[in-house]
Amino acid sequence: MLFRLLRHHLRPYRGLVAAVLVLQLVAAIAALLLPSLNADIIDDGVAQGNTALIWRLGAVMLGVSAVQALTQIAATWAAARVAMGVGRDVRAGVFDRVLSFSSRELGQFGAPTLITRSTNDVQQVQQVTFMALVMLVAAPITGVGGVIMAIRQDVGLSPLIAVGVTVLLLVMGLIIWRMVPLFRAQQKQLDAVNRVLREQISGVRVVRAFTREREETQRFRKTNTELTRIGLSVGDLMALMFPTVMLVMNLSSVGVIWFGAQRVQAGVMDVGALTAYISYLMQILMSIMMATMVATMLPRAAVSAGRIQEVLGTRTTVVAPKVPATPGQPSDGRPGTVELEGVGFTYPGAEAAVLKDIAFTARPGTTTAIVGGTGSGKTTLLRLIPRLADVSRGSVRVDGVDVRDLAPEDLWTRVGLVPQRPYLFSGTVASNLRFGNPDATDEQLWGALRIAQAQDFVAAYDDGLEHPIAQGGTNVSGGQRQRLCIARALVAQPDIYLFDDSFSALDLATDARLRAALAPTTRDATMIVVAQRISTIVDADQIVVLEAGRIIGLGTHRELLQTNQTYAEIVRSQEHGGGEAA
Which pLDDT tens digits describe the chain residue by residue (582 residues)? 677 888 888 888 888 889 988 998 888 888 888 888 888 788 777 777 778 888 888 898 899 899 989 998 999 999 999 999 999 999 999 999 988 887 778 878 888 888 888 888 899 899 999 988 888 778 888 888 888 888 887 787 888 888 888 888 888 788 878 887 888 788 788 888 888 887 887 788 788 888 888 888 898 999 999 999 998 998 888 888 778 878 887 888 888 888 888 888 887 778 888 888 888 888 888 887 788 778 777 877 888 888 899 899 888 878 888 888 877 666 666 788 999 999 999 887 778 889 999 999 999 989 999 998 888 889 899 989 998 888 889 999 998 899 999 888 888 888 999 888 888 898 999 999 998 789 999 999 999 999 999 999 999 999 999 999 988 888 888 888 999 999 999 998 899 999 988 887 788 888 888 888 988 888 889 999 998 888 888 889 999 999 988 999 999 999 998 888 888 888 888 775 544 433
Q: Cα–Cα distances in Å, from 531 out to 56, 72, 174?
A: 91, 67, 63
CA distances from 37 to 56, 83, 435 (A): 10, 35, 68
Distances (CA, A) of 503 to 173, 483, 525, 533, 535: 63, 9, 19, 8, 11
Supply the DSSP symbol for 474.
T
pLDDT of residue 342: 92
pLDDT at 332: 63
Domain borders along the chain are 1-139+297-316, 155-268, 338-577
DSSP conformation class of 328: P
Q: Which CATH topology does 338-577 take?
A: Rossmann fold (3.40.50)
As a whole number of angstroms, the distance between CA 533 and CA 575 comes to: 10
The class (CATH top level) of 1-139+297-316 is mainly alpha
Confidence at residue 328, expressed as pLDDT on a 0 to 100 scale:
66
The one-letter code for the residue type at 278 is I
Neighbouring CB atoms inside 10 A of 203's CB total: 14
The helix (run of H) or strand (run of E) holding residue 85 is helix 51-100
Mark 510-546 as b/e (b = at least 16 C-beta within 10 Å).
bbeebbeebeeebeebbbbbbbbbbebbeebebbbbb
Nearest in space to 145 (alpha carbons), one of 276, 57, 264 = 276
What is the number of other CB atoms lying within 10 angstroms of the CB of residue 438? 8
Model confidence, pTM? 0.72
Q: Is 143 helix (H, G, I), strand (E, B) or coil?
A: helix
Q: What is the pLDDT of residue 580?
A: 42
Nearest Cα to Cα of residue 192 among 230, 235, 146, 224: 224
Instruction: Give the model's pLDDT for residue 330.
Output: 67
Closest by CA to 23, choosing from 58, 64, 73, is 73
Q: With beta carbons less than 8 A apart as the criterion, state whether 85 and 13 touch.
A: yes
DSSP code of residue 472: G
Contact indicator for 355, 377 with CB cutoff of 8 Å: yes
Classified as helix, coil or strand, 440 is coil
What is the torsional sign of CA 189, 190, 191, 197? positive
Region at 529 (left for phi over 0; alpha for psi -120 to 50; beta for the rest):
beta
Helix (H) or strand (E) holding 554: strand 550-555
Whole-number pLDDT of residue 581: 38
**Tally of CB atoms within 10 A around 127:** 17
* pLDDT for res 576: 58
Do the beta carbons of residue 23 and residue 78 sit within 8 Å?
yes
For 22: left if phi > 0, alpha if psi spans -120 to 50, otherwise beta; the answer is alpha
Query: Cβ neighbours of residue 208 under 8 Å, at least 6 residues apart?
Result: none
